[in-house]
Structure 1
């Protein structure tokens, strides 16, 4: 069996059946199909001249990228949305305190197939967060690239989102402010659990002016704080599109 398919099968058997997909066996099938499609990719940093930001997918659309900007990077983010509960009663609601995610280069996936790209958040989001090595393997094994980790996403001490791509040797990074937000589309069974789609504008940084978070998978806070700890961590995945 192909090494990647072996990893896919072993990991898939550990996935919780609570996902947008109809169960572990279907998830394994999805991993296997994606692995097959990725076999034809060659290198990282592929060009994707036909990539189209999926703004039409939501009932209310995010604004278009500003005139004069160019799409520079497409990434899959995998990490957690983080919340806090002041008390564990049903009257209290979780309050967002930011997010943390690893950003994987998805340029070659986008160059291969936009449909395949849009499937990746649900597939990667369904895998255990501790399996980041597997996620890198999934994206890099058949693309002959030694490092598909593009960067990191986190919130700084001021509670402001940062997307930093300098881990991969780029000079691009951005400290951003949310300028628009729309509900995730209702075309999946996890729609109510998926965090909003966002447009972010640069406060300061280098090389990046705007970022879009789209095709989100899970990450929403529970409805109330009832029975929860003070810190609530919810796993998520999403596409990130960078313009500069």
Structure 2
């Protein structure tokens, strides 16, 4: 039986491009910057429709979440999660309700502008002595927006970072908290995605084929983060926020025009 008979992979190019996308997303899931995570669907969209790419990627993300949860199982900040997770559930519900009338491109553009502004604020603060401050109550705002944008545009990462990065957690604690937050968000998204009929058998078999690479890439990303001190981790992560912001702005503008 040919591979194309039971998976979505109709050509070798589709397989190689998907392997590249999964590798990049896996490094991000291990903790190595959110910029790589945003490359998943765009890279896969070079050889397949974006909706199909997103459908294949979600089960892979769940596999990666399981691996990441095990790797970072001892690291979490409950203060962040107690506020942001309930808020994210509200955002996901709003995104599901508004999916039919929400512009993916506009959401990406707005999130990109906010993320780029946040990174610029941090960069200026290093010279002006006024860095972004952590305000616990703002977790309700950024958590709900992160849930909404994660559902409608797979772009929740920058909003989580805007809330949590100013807290200056230990890199391992920050990564473990991020892993729990997005593992829960991705798991909750399964219900509405399944209701939309996106998880057909070829999609699930295709995702299963990517499991070995998903595990390896997550572990590589986690291994790199474990060796980073705060003096390297935070400038690196804020730089990733800026790159994500530019990428989302570009995606939003090209999607609108």
Fold shared, TM-score > 0.5 on shorter chain: no
Which one scores higher on RCO, CA 8 angstroms, separation ≥ 6? 2
Which is richer in helix?
2
Normalised by the size of structure 2, how large is the TM-score? 0.27
Which is richer in strand?
1
Normalised by the size of structure 1, how large is the TM-score? 0.28
